[in-house]
A and B are shown apart, each in its own frame.
Chain A
Amino acid sequence: AQSVTQLDSQVPVFEEAPVELRCNYSSSVSVYLFWYVQYPNQGLQLLLKYLSGSTLVESINGFEAEFNKSQTSFHLRKPSVHISDTAEYFCAVRADAGFQKLVFGTGTRLLVSP
């Protein structure tokens, strides 16, 4: 079975500052990794995903995440955040082996203040 740990329940940051949201996973098989974002009163939206190839993946709005197999991590980063980035961010993992359910972490609330 897979599991995901997001150690930070909340990350406060000032606008234009850099941010890192941490995600560690556990799995005995190869996995695919995802970051979802949930804005207030909205459903989850896929932010970015790692399937294979380059370990650094980017989103269209400036976020990036790096898959680190040796550290079993998939941390999310942004060099300069905006007020509009305030949301809940969920890391998720899914095994690359037949059907395996998508397993989510507990989420990290990013609070961007002016």
Chain B
Amino acid sequence: EAGVVQSPRYKIIEKKQPVAFWCNPISGHNTLYWYLQNLGQGPELLIRYENEEAVDDSQLPKDRFSAERLKGVDSTLKIQPAELGDSAVYLCASSLRDTSYNEQFFGPGTRLTVL
């Protein structure tokens, strides 16, 4: 079974440029999560999708960040414009559905460097 796929794995951009990250969850997983992991920190939830609906985006900085999961499968996270402080690893995870005991499966992440 294929795991959570993310691309690109690494991205280097200059500040004020836009950037997008793509995630393909495990087949059949209804719930998709985007996390932000700063250096030396644990992941922090940005947004959670149930199928195509964003059911929790309270931690997403909406002035510059946006996300979509149009057909309830793969998802894109966008930053426009990027700032120096956005340098971090962006993780995508998925689970069958969102319950407290369901395991979340994580992708390898996209490491973003903003110069």
Determine which of B100, B101, B105, B108 lies in contact with A41 in the assembled complex, contact meaning CB atoms within 8 Å: B108
Contacts of A44 in B (CB 8 A): 43, 91, 93, 106
9-residue interface stretch from A14-22, A54-62, A69-77, A89-97 = A89-97
Q: Does B41 contact A106, Cβ atoms closer than 8 Å?
A: yes
Q: Does A94 contact B40, Cβ atoms closer than 8 Å?
A: no
Determine which of B4, B44, B98, B105 lies in contact with A104 in the assembled complex, contact meaning CB atoms within 8 Å: B44
Q: Does A104 contact B100, Cβ atoms closer than 8 Å?
A: no
Q: If the complex has contacts A43-B91, A102-B45, are A9 and B40 also in contact, measured as CB distance less than 8 A?
A: yes
In Å, the complex CA distance between A98 and B55 comes to 13
Q: Which size bracket describes the interface of A in this complex?
A: 20 to 34
Instruction: Please report the total number of B residues contacting A with Cβ < 8 Å.
Output: 23
In Å, the complex CA distance between A101 and B57 comes to 11
Q: In residues 48-71 of chain B, which contact A (Cβ within 8 Å)? A: 48, 55-56
Q: Mark A27-46, 1 if CB is under 8 A from B, else 0.
A: 00000100010000111111
Q: Does B100 contact A45, Cβ atoms closer than 8 Å?
A: no
In Å, the complex CA distance between A68 and B107 comes to 31
Q: Does B101 contact A51, Cβ atoms closer than 8 Å?
A: yes
Q: Mark B31-42, 1 if CB is under 8 A from A, else 0.
A: 000000000111
Chain B positions within 8 Å of A, measured between CB atoms, are 3-4, 40-45, 48, 55-56, 91, 93, 98, 100-101, 103-109
